[in-house]
Structure 1
């Protein structure tokens, strides 16, 4: 029998800064609910975070039940584990990158008790700039709703019910009503409803579990409700952005799983969904890497333009090479340029630099020079080759210079105009840290006071107005970020204010209780100093290309010329051949991760051998095996693979 009124279940993965902030807001809400006689428990399930979340936060929140897992099981499985430890009549499934109002818990339990037909409810969810998150009240992904969402009809006609059933954009955000689907970041669920449907479907890893759970609850006869009287802020995507998991893949894969599960009889619908998912995935990747793709296209144009200009000055016309040279010349130099840039890490690995551009073109020059030595019929002119490389260096270098200049003036590296709301010891510490040099590209415009502030505090920063003048201050000073450091302000009042000025596109950060952890996160956020390069070498394009090429060549050799060797060295002939075939098809890798569970690894591939394989795994515990797998992903190189392969064959 449940002994608590509410069990708050939070699944964490590498976002300890946001989790700290979230737990503070939940603790404050628990105090308000406690005064009403409601009992609250907080459970945090950690999905094997590598940022020391549990170690850091456990002493700060002694009343919280922390559960640390030895591997990342995904959102659904981790929540189900938290549920098994819970005692609440109601469950709040909450993301760690959220901040809730002080009266959120008491308002939600009042609503649920007053509406017994409701099995799960959500509240108004705001982005950090105060805008409304569409995902917090959705319709089911029916064939038509999915079609209009995937093919953009909903975006074209947001107020037309026929086209906007998925995100319900035709409805008011300031009314309470029944819906079909809640956002997974905030789900207030009756325990009996959660139990009746068996919790989250664990075949989803990330995304889709919320849709499936809500649909299952509805099928059992309960209603799903959107309750607009209370709000939260959701720093959308932070709990997945800090993860190196392929979130796009999991998002669209979740939609496909749901479609197969509930609409399996409609083959035409499944075909359309797959087509839509493929198109949207492609568009999502193109948008994600639009700058990189643009730079690549310009580099190719500059290279081929340089060839034509060089040909014109050498032979009197831009196409005056022998007829057999076209289009081979343009194709070959383009492929060599692209391969060389990938090899030096210029493409798809963070900021494009003139230094790596120079190295890439220098490598292209040596490769092209070598090719003309072996293919004499294409050795038209060393002068053209030198001119091509030199002029491309100039044009592509200028492109990168102007991009860098744009970033400094108005782009990613431009000064972030910020202000601090609240004049107290918290804001004083933040100002000192902002001035310490840790924060780059930050322009602190001044302080915004509240009637509770003591203006007598001398902080060396001008007071530019008060909270009642917020919209005017934002426009006059061109503010992009506001750090809220006033503990006396009620969170509900702040969220109301933020939602009213959402059209001004200002991002808000909460630091009502100063903590080095939160301040560091915010400074990284406002100054954009956080690295955008993946910590895993295995995810970098050049390493993936090298690894896949090696796998293909090695497996092809072993399945053909080396097949007698495989038979000679193995006792069970069929097993290694099956494994090598899976390497050839891309399901496995020759050298890779040690298989811990039956599920595919989120990053990398299971290997026929690897670091853990050569370390006598029967004598290693699960944590050490995980650490060896993690080390391999982070430090992957071709030489590491060769080293592992040699030790596999020659270990004692």
Structure 2
């Protein structure tokens, strides 16, 4: 029996592949409900609109020519919605086949319900605490900002922000729903009004949830259905921009709903949190960026400090054969050259490639020897010490990197020679199609097992069935599981992730058309994508090469300016642009201006 009509509203901004996956799950769930689906696109440039028109013509697409913000975009669709219920859904979500039916049934049986949220898990199958939240009063915000909520999650006093003292598998009345999945009854919206457009991004869900309670309705957390929410695809949670946008939204909320006294206290607390978090984010990024070069510099310096007196004593019979200033400036120069050589040859890329360290040290040694040969005799240090220092560096740096790798810190990750061990869950045809896609785009993947999505394992092609996946993961030492969406229901995928409950496993979902595989393992990382059309400019080494090309060409063109000024029209503009390229604010080569071109996989480069 079909439930009453529901209007699903999805606001999209440059997450085409996530949106496609989301829409596939929505229409699979809509088979059991009378449903209309809106996609409001906030001026994406990744081809999202073209994809929707081509693959989901039944979607009511609203194309904005400007990013007006999350609240404004939702309101555009809500005004046109005809459903008794309105579901605000993020594009980076996957819902179960039963989700729409289940939530409608729940709302039908709870006449006091104004809004509803569901149990959410991230891309690794971990429960997301924002599935249920309390009202962020000054007291609650204080406990959250200063870590007391994290220290005492079971406390009813300190754990109010995420209501961590409530059972995540039980239904509860809560203060705040998540904007990633917020089901609203149209009747309630008529009383509360639409989303407040003062909230550009973040905070609108808290504001709407609070207004629902003010209108004498209740917000329910309902774990009867579970969705995947990859989180943070448009704004990374660790970024300074996120800190500013989120906490400023909290200030808007406080000024709107709290008394003047409490609003002032809350604003002061939030402003303090903004500066604290922003400073912490800047410091953290700075430390992460310099910690490895500092360690490398110390390793190189320690090598010269140890080798110089030994070599001096061996050759000259005493330890003071080299002038002190030559030793100091010479060694510092060598360190700087080696560090820059490592930088430009990928020695500091993440994850670390050991071969890039060898290349960086080798090229650095050659540069040092060439420069050494050009120096006056009185400024030369020792060619033998340069070679000994190179040997020390080329042996010690990889060893140190391996030791740091075993600390388990992500900043010291090493790209080891081994391949990621993958299990594919899908029928034989889809599995073979997926193998071709993976082999063409990711040679560092090794397919260890094919898993039958059905409970029938008559074919030797499969290592086992989904029910045996836990054992397959353990025996085959699987690192990543890829689900073929064409063969499995979203509910089956989500249940499998929950049952495995393995934090070391990565999960991805292959689209039904078999041209992309997507997933996200962290709120601080973008979704990882295996796609049939990946542009290599995204690789760090290619970006460095491009910058080097810009630098070299602009340098020589600046040297030729006396000639170029004579033969080139628009000479002053040319001079200005040459220096811009030289300093890195412009580039000789950019992207085409083709309308609706898919640049989702491309990094931002200078115009």
| TM-score in terms of structure 1 length | 0.67
1:273 corresponds in structure 2 to 273
The yes-or-no answer on 1:199 pairing with 2:195 is yes
- Matched residues in 1 for 2:514 and 2:152: separation? 46
| C-alpha contact (below 8 Å) 1:200/1:209 kept by paired residues | yes
- Pick aligned residue for 2:177 from 150, 173, 182: 182
Task: Please list every run of 5 or more consecutive structure 1 residues that lacks an aligned counterpart in the other structure.
Answer: 35-39, 548-568, 570-589, 593-603, 613-622, 641-652
The yes-or-no answer on 1:115 pairing with 2:93 is no
1:255 corresponds in structure 2 to 246
2:501 corresponds in structure 1 to 502
Q: 1:633 to 1:213 in 2, by over 3 A?
A: same
Q: 1:191 to 1:346 in 2, by over 3 A?
A: farther
1:584 corresponds in structure 2 to none
**CA displacement 1:390-421 (0-9 Å, x = unmatched):** 356524763598599999x9967643333333
Matches within 5 A, 1:632-643: 634-636=604-606
2:513 corresponds in structure 1 to 515
Q: 1:309 to 1:56 in 2, by over 3 A?
A: same
2:448 corresponds in structure 1 to 445
- Matched residues in 1 for 2:271 and 2:235: separation? 29
Matches within 5 A, 1:406-555: 414-434=418-438, 436-449=439-452, 451=454, 453=456, 455=458, 462-485=461-484, 491-503=490-502, 505-511=504-510, 514-519=512-517, 525=529
1:133 corresponds in structure 2 to 128
| C-alpha contact (below 8 Å) 2:244/2:274 kept by paired residues | no
2:566 corresponds in structure 1 to none
- Pick aligned residue for 2:151 from 136, 150, 156: 156
2:32 corresponds in structure 1 to 32
The yes-or-no answer on 1:7 pairing with 2:3 is no
1:100 corresponds in structure 2 to 95
2:218 corresponds in structure 1 to 223
1:21 corresponds in structure 2 to 21
| C-alpha contact (below 8 Å) 2:43/2:63 kept by paired residues | yes
- Matched residues in 1 for 2:209 and 2:48: separation? 30
Structure 1 counterpart SS, 2:114: strand
| C-alpha contact (below 8 Å) 1:418/1:443 kept by paired residues | yes
- Matched residues in 1 for 2:604 and 2:220: separation? 44
| C-alpha contact (below 8 Å) 2:508/2:518 kept by paired residues | no
- Pick aligned residue for 1:303 from 286, 300, 304: 300
Q: 1:351 to 1:80 in 2, by over 3 A?
A: farther
Structure 2 counterpart SS, 1:59: helix
More divergent stretch after superposition (398-407 vs 488-497): 398-407
- Matched residues in 2 for 1:125 and 1:79: separation? 21
What is the Cα deviation at residue 488 of structure 1? 6.9
- Matched residues in 1 for 2:458 and 2:18: separation? 30
Structure 2 counterpart SS, 1:6: strand
What is the Cα deviation at residue 362 of structure 1? 6.0
- Matched residues in 2 for 1:385 and 1:449: separation? 61
| C-alpha contact (below 8 Å) 2:94/2:490 kept by paired residues | no
Structure 2 counterpart SS, 1:88: coil
Q: 1:369 to 1:466 in 2, by over 3 A?
A: same
- Matched residues in 2 for 1:343 and 1:468: separation? 48
- Matched residues in 1 for 2:80 and 2:145: separation? 38
| C-alpha contact (below 8 Å) 2:120/2:131 kept by paired residues | yes
What is the Cα deviation at residue 72 of structure 1? 4.0
- Matched residues in 2 for 1:274 and 1:307: separation? 44
Give the structure, 1 or 2, with the largest relative contact order (CA under 8 Å, sep 6 or more): 2
2:562 corresponds in structure 1 to none
**CA displacement 1:543-577 (0-9 Å, x = unmatched):** 7xx99xxxxxxxxxxxxxxxxxxxxx9xxxxxxxx
Q: 1:144 to 1:340 in 2, by over 3 A?
A: farther
Q: 1:624 to 1:81 in 2, by over 3 A?
A: farther
- Matched residues in 2 for 1:173 and 1:635: separation? 44
What is the Cα deviation at residue 225 of structure 1? 2.0
Structure 1 counterpart SS, 2:228: strand
What is the Cα deviation at residue 165 of structure 1? 2.2
Aligned length: 543
- Matched residues in 1 for 2:387 and 2:50: separation? 59
**CA displacement 1:501-546 (0-9 Å, x = unmatched):** 21464344445x7313335889975899988985899x98997xx9
- Matched residues in 2 for 1:331 and 1:542: separation? 28
- Matched residues in 2 for 1:359 and 1:119: separation? 66
Task: Please list every run of 5 or more consecutive structure 2 residues that lacks an aligned counterpart in the other structure.
Answer: 255-261, 521-526, 552-571, 573-578
Structure 1 counterpart SS, 2:39: strand
- Matched residues in 1 for 2:86 and 2:208: separation? 13
The yes-or-no answer on 1:312 pairing with 2:309 is yes
